[in-house]
Every structure is written in C-alpha cells, then in structure tokens.
Amino acid sequence: MKRGLSKGFVIVGTVSVITLSSFGATQTNSKQIFDSKAVTDFGRRIILSGECAGRSDLPHISTHFPGTVNVVTETFCPGEEVTVKTTLSRKGWWIFRTSVTKSKSGFANVRLSVAMACKWQSGMAPIEYIVESLHTDSSGSRGITRAHSFLKC
C-alpha cells in the first residue's frame, strides 16, 4: 500500500515540473514581441494565441500631466482585431477604491493610456495604485494582466 502511494507522488511531481517548464517558455516568447519594454513580472505580460499578446506597464507618476498617475496597456496581434479594457484603481480608506476604466479596439495593435488624479500628500504613506487589463483577440482568446505600484506624487 505504501509503495503505491509513493509512485503516485512521483508521477504528480513530474507532471508539475513539465507544466512549469512549458509556462516559462511561453513567457520567453512574449519578450520577443515586446522587446523594447522587457518585463520580468509574469503578471504584466500574457500570450493570447500564436503571435498575439498583451502587456500592462506599472502605474507611474505622469511626466505629461503633473499630479496624475498614468498606466499604458497594449494588445498586439498581427492581422486580427484586438481589444483592451483597462481599470486603474487607487486603494482608499477601508474597502473603498476609486477607479477609472477605459477600453479601446483596433486592428493589429491597440495601445491605451489611463490616468487618474494622485491623492498623496506630504507626510502620508505611499498610496497603492492597481492596474488590471483584459486583452482579447478576434479568435476569442482572452487574458488578464495585473500590476501595482506604491506611489508618492
């Protein structure tokens, strides 16, 4: 009886290693698509299907509009219609959040910028800003990217 259980655990362990190796290879391919913005955080980049991918930048203080926090997301798929829907949220007191949501569709490559006012004041702890994007291609493949930053404006 004990021998049977040991073999079962070995098989499960082997399957897990194979699955993780496949996942790592997928992430490597995404760097080839967006090589100008190399990302090491797996949650910020996703492969949809074939050459189709999506990515989200970290929320950051805007250099174009002082006093705002900005995030850029992108969905890329050669020869297909693509859509990206992005929500930028700011954690608030207790459970309350302030959010801004935008979406955009287009052909082959869609880039979307979402911004909101920064509420940080001197003496406060950094505020957490969270981005979540849904990337969709015309074949029906979908994926979500997420990122967050703690910012002082």
Domain range for 111: 40-151
Residue 23: inside a domain: no
Residue 15: inside a domain: no
* pLDDT (tens digit per residue) in 45-85: 888 888 899 999 999 999 888 899 999 999 999 999 999 99
User: Which range has the worst mean pLDDT, 16-30, 51-65, 121-135?
Assistant: 16-30
Residue 59 sits in a domain of what CATH number?
Answer: 2.60.40.1940
* pLDDT (tens digit per residue) in 76-121: 999 999 999 999 999 877 777 899 999 999 999 999 999 999 988 8
Tokens of 24: 């790592």
Residue 24: inside a domain: no
Residue 134: inside a domain: yes
Residue 111: inside a domain: yes
The pTM is what? 0.69
Residue 113 and residue 71 in contact, taking contact as beta carbons nearer than 8 Å: yes
Long-range interactions of 121-130: CB distance < 8 A, separation 24+: 124/152, 126/150, 126/151, 126/152, 127/90, 127/91, 127/151, 127/152, 128/90, 128/91, 129/59, 129/69, 129/71, 129/88, 129/89, 129/90, 129/91, 130/59, 130/88, 130/89, 130/90, 130/91
Number of separate domains in the chain: 1
* Burial degree of 3 (CB within 10 A; 0-12, 13-18, 19+): exposed
Residue 54: inside a domain: yes
Residue 125: inside a domain: yes
Residue 17: inside a domain: no
